[in-house]
Amino acid sequence: MFEGLELLGRGVGHFLTPISIFNVAWATLLGIVIGALPGLTATLGVALLVTLTYKMAPDQAILTLVCMYVGAIYGGSRSAILLNIPGTPASAATTLDGYPLALRGQAGYAMGIATTSSALGTMVGIVCLAIFAPLLAELALDFGSYEFFWLAVFGVVISGQLTATDTPLKGYIAGILGLLAAMVGMEGIHAHQRFTFGIHQLGGGIDIIPAMVGAFGFAEILTVMKNRSAVVIGSSIDRVVPRVADVLKYWRTIIRSGVIGTFVGIIPGVGEDIGAWASYAAARRASREREQFGKGSVEGLTAAETGNSAVVPGALIPALTLAIPGSAPAAVLLAALFIHGVRPGPMIMLENPGFVYEMVGMLLLATIAITVYGLSLTRVLVKVLRIPRERLMPVVFVLCVIGPYAITQRMFDVYVMLFFGIVGFILREMKYPMAPLVLGIILGDLLDTNLRRGLVVSDGDPSPFFTRPISLLLFSVTALTIILSIPAVKNGARRAFHHLLPGRSAG
């Protein structure tokens, strides 16, 4: 224990130098900007920055990449709250309560809550990284193709249930549409092209960035054009820095969401968006204010931001100890570790145990940076609200075009963005949620590949999907979620529960 504390002290102290502080400052700020711009994700930011770190000292190069990662995941909340457009997929859940708070003239307060929640979520993940890395990484080894399949199904189901305004069925339909869109292109096992209809550009599939920017960004532009008389968000700010009492009020939600986000991060390939949705779902189930969720709930915003930020340290646990990335940005960061001479894997705790604690130091400095920037730049960012949305939308449209095009330099991705924008606008008009659609595209490859891989391993026998312990648990939770979303079953269960309460109190 004392050896671990000594290594932790060395890891943090190693980066308390002027050059390290300078690198933290610019890399985190750049990450926040990239995360806030619709279409520019943490993965893209880390990938672009890797090319600029070849000649840097290894520790400083990795420090800047970690700060970029943390800053971009946090930065997505800025546009999610101000414009109802998540800067990154990880911030999709933030729009549910962040934007309604902005509509009530509490944009600054919402961004302050998002800042403190992100910082606290990262801190919870850091504690798990420092203490439980070997134990939690071992748990991820139990996940095979069968478990990943049900995890993807559960992600779409829970997102569809939580975001649908009329009925969960509309959320499920939107999620299934996303899964169907993910089937387009070359499949991963036999390299066979599906549903391309002779369009060779579809051979590579539908990329998530154009689809997400279209469904959230361009659809929002069309909505504003249709509803020109919509209320303009007020730009006055009563308070930016949250009161300590406001934060402590939801301490259970913060701890719960931090632990959930860390656990989701440990599971390879899942990512920050699932961490946010899972944390949001758990908070809503446990909340006494669940009717406020989706209408400007501070607790819902806290859960979403705590959950997605806690995934960052969690995703680094399998990346460092197993050389298996927990998320897409962690995959790019893993490649950068090899480039700069660090060998992640099961032997890192023996060969270079100090590096794990150096990573803790990097995350701590990045957390301090997003807190300082988040609370000090909020009043600057909230000035965006003074611009009439009709005038702001052309700028947003330019960003919606630049974001998808900048990744592959293909006009086809711009057309994909426009297509999903029009489809998203039509679905919005019919009260279908957008988040399950995008999440279905994200998880479609995970679901499809692991379903067929599992069937290949079992020689066509589907029973392992239902008999393996973790698979059975995930299947049971998913099935129960769907069954309880049926109004008749839900109302019957509620009546039965209330009927039992008097008997319990009497006994």
Query: 236-267: string of b/e by CB count within 10 Å (b at 16+)?
Result: ebeebebeeebbeebeebbebbbbbbbbbbbb
Q: What is the pLDDT of residue 296?
A: 84
The mean pLDDT of 201-216, rounded to a whole number, is 79
Paired tokens of 214 = 């279209």
Q: How far apart are CA 274 and CA 295, in angstroms?
A: 21
Measure Cα distances from 392 to 35, 219, 221, 387, 388 in Å. Answer: 18, 14, 9, 6, 6
- pLDDT tens digits, 133-169: 666 555 555 677 888 888 778 877 876 776 666 678 8
Q: What is the pLDDT of residues 349-402, one digit of tens each?
A: 667 777 888 888 899 999 999 999 988 887 776 665 556 666 767 877 887 788
More reliable by pLDDT, 408 or 252:
252
Over the stretch 249-300, which tens digit does the pLDDT of each residue have?
Answer: 888 889 999 999 988 887 765 678 888 888 998 888 888 887 888 888 888 8
pLDDT by residue (tens digit) across 12-54? 777 788 999 999 999 999 898 888 877 667 877 887 787 778 7
Task: Please write the tens of the pLDDT for every residue from 421-470.
Answer: 999 899 888 888 877 887 788 778 878 888 888 988 888 888 988 988 88
Distance CA 296, CA 95 (A): 9
Predicted TM-score (pTM) above 0.75: no
pLDDT on residue 134: 61
Residue with tokens 């933290």: 24
pLDDT in tens, 1-12: 545 566 667 767
- Which pLDDT score is estimated for 506? 41
Question: What pLDDT is recorded for position 481?
Answer: 82
Residue 418, burial from CB neighbour count under 10 angstroms (0-12, 13-18, 19+)? middle
Does the structure show a pLDDT above 90 at 306? yes
Work out the mean pLDDT of the chain and round it to a whole number.
Answer: 80
> Which tens digit of pLDDT belongs to each residue from 54-81?
778 888 999 999 999 999 999 888 888 8
pLDDT at 56: 86
Please give the share of the chain, as a percent, with pLDDT higher than 90: 13
Domain boundaries, the chain: 2-501
Residue-level pLDDT at 63: 92
